[in-house]
Chains A and B, each alone.
Chain A
Amino acid sequence: MKTMDNYPTHELGGILYRSGHVSPFGATILYENAINFSVFSKHATSCELVLYHRGEEEPFAVIPFSEEFRIGNVYSMIVYGLDYEELEYGYRFDGPIDPQGGHRFDYRKTLLDPYAKMVAGRERWGELPASGREFVHRGKVIPEDFDWETDKPLELPLRDLVIYEAHVRGLTMGAESGVKYKGSFAGLVEKIPYLKELGVNCVELLPIFEFDELENNRVVDGERLVNYWGYSTVDFFAPKAGYAASSMRGLASEELKNTIKQFHRSGIEVMLDVVFNHTAEGNEKGPCISFRGIDNKTYYLLTPEGYYYNFSGCGNTMNCNNAVVRNFILDCLRYWVSVYHIDGFRFDLASILSRDANGAPMSSPPVLESLAQDPVLGKTKLIAEAWDAGGLYQVGSFPAWGRWAEWNGKYRDCLRRFLKGEAECGPEMLMRIQGSPDLYANRNAEASINFVTCHDGFTLNDLVSYNDKHNEGNGEANCDGANDNNSWNCGVEGVTDDAEVNALRVRQIKNAVALLLLSRGVPMILAGDEFRNSQGGNNNAYCQDNAISWLDWGDLERNRSTFEFFKRMIELRKAHPVLRRAQFYSGVNSSGYPEVSFHGERAWVFDAMNPFHTFGFMFAETVADHGAEQDCFIYCGVNTYWEERTLELPIVPAGMQWRKVAYTFEEENYEEAAAESPIALMPRSLMVLVAKR
């Protein structure tokens, strides 16, 4: 059937067009080279569609939206005879030039469509624009279909995840990564067998929405520094073209979709780190890329004088609870879930999403509720970084509607301090091991994303190798990055050939990951920690697109025992559902024992209220309560003291025998062995035992 869409009504310089569909926003291929364009602006007075042939500086057509093409605050148009693979487009808006009133229109600027599905011109990572030319971000049109076969988001229970936080480029750019398509989505696919061997079942990717890596690029000590992490979004609907090995062939979207499909086939979810708190347009002095010139007052939080509020620490703050922006965020995430099959999102500085138009925190922020209740996102994981740069800290109190989980910063801080010997953190550690019921009493342990390290801060190796940050390479006189790291260098600052120090570092790493994987809640590992990847003490490598940030895969063979230990701990967690139980329960279960219990040097005798360095904790797991393969007990003896300590093992039912399954003091941990009570724990070591029939 031919619809009215087939009949152009207007012509300009040989280009045929007509009024379009207001929905969906963005540029959509209708049929046979006809494309529908639709864009919103509340405060603009007029709008033009600007069309370019690929890579050309001057447009081949500028088509004004005539008055009959505007419905409400939406401009829409169908244009015919376009080759979508060779097309780039943008918009020009006119409107009040009134910064104090919140408007920053500039009819001379060609602006990026906020709904553009791909951005042109940045196919090659880090390629500087030709000198003297201001780079203009233009949209590209892509078909959205893909041969997914039976794939869809995996919907693994959150409590069962072991999350692996990775940077698309950093994971495989290293010289020894052994992949063909280095630094790309396709390169991730090549690492799937490795990730399966490690045992993780979710990768969380640092931002992959199009950003400008050249933003604030500079040369320090001969090294070009760029926005490597990408927490500065240019286009929320477009994958970062420079992350696709096939970008120059126009296949970035297909490459990413295939990457996600291959992860899913291997039972691994894909989660994205998303940054809705601000955009790459910065403050008043920043570039005019998109939102600022389309409808500044709608998209940003502005002071009464028309300046940008800066709760993000990055110059501007998105007006997330504005009804239009809220829908924009929803549209974006629905798109990523439905078109790219993304399994979940981690929201950077998510507390900004709880602020109102004046920046004040709200008790029931509409955008967070909308995300929690959205039909398309109904099974999508939602994880908040529950703080912002404006001083809002909501760990344990983030508005959740039973849906939101949080990066548990308190878990990280407590575990770090306890491990380096701060006995006063002992009582809090008991909460953290149980999934932080003190923080999430109204929810469950799934709300707690537990971690020791993440991209932001020291790697795990550096956490045990450096007392202080070493960010000189960032060119900011070592003033950037956190000062409060709760790190301990084990006696020598940085790399050393002191065998004793190195052995202690390995032990501390293993202690940390054992506690992480034996804690209730959802563990997250930073990529490379499993083989002691180092950033040379840089705890803020956001700008280092080089060996500082790229994983050094040569470390994998050099630190095989650490890798094997990680693998073993992940296996142990997967084998024991009691460790992954979401419900806070520590009472007596069908074993006749408390499900979670704590022990001192004598079993069952423990002062949980006062500081301690040494303790044991035990989980009682049963077939009846947890669907386990067989009834068993898991005991972990922890000694963070600098001298040897002994711990008495709890008596287990007749016929059961304690067996040591891991001991961080031993270089190798592969042989299980029968263990008798009491166990001796060497300084700063941890032993895991399992008792079964």
Chain B
Amino acid sequence: MLEIKKEIEGATVTLSLGGRVDVSSSAMLDEALQSLSADVETVVLDAANLEYISSAGLRVLLRGAKKMRAQGALYTIRNMTPVVQDALEMTGMMALFDEE
């Protein structure tokens, strides 16, 4: 199960993620990221309640990074649990994210 809460403040969009991103839920996160408008200047993924991210989930984060890079938006992640942080570190995916 994945829960996504979206907050918009000016040109900044925060997506608060809760639960798991795996094959069955990755399409939902993909849709949330890919549907962001071209006017968005900063995307913040708040991963405080994200318990698990699978290979399919990492691909969605990567697709998000490609989109944000293309539109020149900042792409950041915060409040990662050790499980999620390790997954991103071990696969080199931390490099996808800009520093806040």
Footprint of B on A, CB under 8 Å? 33, 83-86, 142-143, 145, 147, 180-181, 184-186, 189, 244-246, 249-251, 253-255, 258, 261-262
Contact = CB atoms under 8 A, between A and B. Distances in A.
Contacts of A86: 23
Interface in B19-73: 22-24, 52-56, 58-59, 62
Nearest to B91: A254
Contact of A250 (B55, B59, B86, B92): B55
B55 A251 contact: yes
A244 B86 CA distance: 12
B91 A246 contact: yes
Contacts of A33: 23
Given A86-B23, A246-B87, A249-B52, A262 B58 contact: no
Contacts of A184: 90
B99 interface: no
Contacts of A245: 86, 90
B9 interface: no
A403 B46 CA distance: 53
Contacts, number: 59
B100 interface: no
Contacts of B92: 189, 254, 258, 261-262
A306 to B, nearest CB: 43
A142 B56 CA distance: 10
Contacts of A147: 62
Given A33-B23, A85-B23, A254 B58 contact: yes
Which 3 pairs of residues, A with B, have the shortest CB-CB distance? A258-B92, A254-B91, A246-B90
Contact of A251 (B23, B62, B91): B91
Given A143-B55, A246-B91, A254-B58, 11 more contacts: A83-B22, A85-B56, A86-B23, A143-B56, A145-B59, A181-B89, A186-B90, A249-B83, A249-B87, A251-B54, A258-B92
Nearest to A253: B55
Nearest to B27: A32
Contacts of A145: 59
A142 B58 CA distance: 13
Contacts of B22: 83, 85
B54 A258 contact: no
Contacts of A258: 90-93
A143 B90 contact: no
A60 to B, nearest CB: 16
B82 to A, nearest CB: 11
Contact of A85 (B54, B83, B87, B90): B54
A254 B86 CA distance: 13
Nearest to B62: A147
B54 A250 contact: yes
B58 A251 contact: yes
